[in-house]
Amino acid sequence: MIDKLDEAETFRAARIGRLSSVADSLALLQAWRSILPEQVFITAGPLLDNATPLTAHERASVGPLDAQRLLELESGRAYAKRALAMIGYHGVELPVAADRSPSWPTGALGSLTHVMGRDGGHFAAAVARNDTIGAVGIDVEREDGLHPRLWDHVLTRQELARILALPVAARATETQIIWCAKEAAGKAARRPIEPTELEVERDRDGDGYTATWRHSLEERDRSANMWHGQVIRSHGFILAAVVVPKGRST
């Protein structure tokens, strides 16, 4: 039922012309679903015209902001609240925590991501109950390639070597996929990390990847410090998700 509501909203936004097509936006929602386990609930779509305003508590938690940022926060939280309703949370507030992540209600956890744009951009919120899932992080990037001057900041030496082994035309996009994969892992960790703290290795087949915390590379039990994620390209965007099972941590 809630899924249907979300699809109805996506359809409405597309009809008023901000999205290139209804099919694209519904495909993005399906793409998210395809990279998340069933215990994680996702809502996604374009910037909302009719997002509920932030509550006074949420507004006070943000600090000074401009009109565009307010729209972004309102849409992100509107999607998050719809996702929370899927797991039984209604009428909750999502103030901004000290680390800038959303403060999830007791018993829940989640992750938000968004890119703005004249086409309505793309927003997504993933939530789960914390008795089923240990952590979740999602990230979306518009697929336009990461400029080579940023590669040193983003890539470890091993990742750079793998990128340079690819055909030139594929390198910027592949680097951006790795960046997106790291952002999802960083959000799941809920602490600031340097991109080169993580080593991302994409599975040979399929959409899976592992993100290994490099401080653990020399340790015997590397698997305890290795998180699994999924990253895909869909309709001009890159979507990544890391879901950590209950009981795992870094």
Ligand X SMILES: CC(C)(COP(=O)(O)OP(=O)(O)OC[C@H]1O[C@@H](n2cnc3c(N)ncnc32)[C@H](O)[C@@H]1OP(=O)(O)O)[C@@H](O)C(=O)NCCC(=O)NCCS
- Which residues of this protein are in contact with ligand X, per CB under 6 A? 72-73, 76, 99-102, 112-114, 139, 182-183, 186-187, 190, 192-193, 195, 198
Would you say 108 or 169 has its CB closer to ligand X? 108
Distance, in Å, from the CA atom of 125 to the CA atom of 149, rounded to the nearest integer, reads 31
Would you say 190 or 228 has its CB closer to ligand X? 190
Question: 147 CB contacts (<8 Å, ≥6 apart)?
Answer: 172
Least separation in angstroms between CB 175 and ligand X:
13
Would you say 10 or 61 has its CB closer to ligand X? 61
Q: What are phi and psi of 144, to 5 degrees?
A: -130, 10
Least separation in angstroms between CB 167 and ligand X:
26
Question: Measuring CA to CA, how many Å separate 209 from each of 26, 160, 222, 225, 244?
Answer: 25, 16, 15, 14, 13
Q: Which residue is nearest to ligand X (CB)?
A: 186
In the block, tokens 């996604």 appear at 44
Distance, in Å, from the CA atom of 26 to the CA atom of 39, rounded to the nearest integer, reads 20
Least separation in angstroms between CB 100 and ligand X:
4
Least separation in angstroms between CB 48 and ligand X:
13
Would you say 22 or 95 has its CB closer to ligand X? 95
Question: 105 CB contacts (<8 Å, ≥6 apart)?
Answer: 84, 89, 92, 94
